[in-house]
Structure 1
Amino acid sequence: MMSPGPENLPSMDEPCPMIDFVNLISGKWAIPILYRLILINGPVRFSALQRAVAPITQKELTRQLRLFERHKLIERQVFAEVPPRVEYRITDLGRTLGPTLDSLAQWMRTHGQSLDRKEEAAIS
């Protein structure tokens, strides 16, 4: 992978786009939820999504899904049944994150064992 050329680099006066990106996907569960929805690439029920990213709590999954829905990264469909059935699916906009998340996953597969995780264990 090549570094961006000087013509693609923001000036030091411009706000860093990575701040907005990190704010969008901040939270322990944001990336695993989005990545799972991208991999599934179809409708998924809340309970199946919760199992797929376990051990996330129902409250945290709901909070994250609402945020993604507000940003138009996912769609939520409620079916008028008893009990109500709710399905989520990634939008076309959300799907554009696929290559970025794939590259992060590949980086972890390649370099994850090289990371010094002693500090992480002490923090947990």
Structure 2
Amino acid sequence: MSQSQLQCQPQLPYLSQIRHQLQNQGRYQVQSLHLKVAQIVCRAQFLIHNVNHRVIQFQILSLCLVRHQFQNQSQHLFQESSQVQSLHLKAVQIVYLYLSQILTVDQSQHRAQLQHQVQLLNP
């Protein structure tokens, strides 16, 4: 064996050990990256679940608000229709009173004309 070969032999176990350590370190880094990826995926799934939950809550809330608004609008429309019916009734009453006064005036005028004609016929 040459001098250089003799010097390399003791270094072979050392190089082998370094290579083994680097391989282990590479495995640990890969495992660490796998763990980080798994954590990110789990966190993403958790966030997606939270977003879906919030969307469902928002949909329920919006349906409740629509229902509440519909009830309010229904009550408002009912009040308006009641007011319209009341105004219609008042208008009918006013027309009835007006027509009855016209009839009364017409009847009075007609009586007065008849009495006047009777007086003219009976001097």
Q: What is the TM-score of this pair, normalised by structure 2?
A: 0.17
Larger RCO, structure (CA 8 Å, separation 6 or more) = 1
1 or 2, which has the higher strand percentage? 1
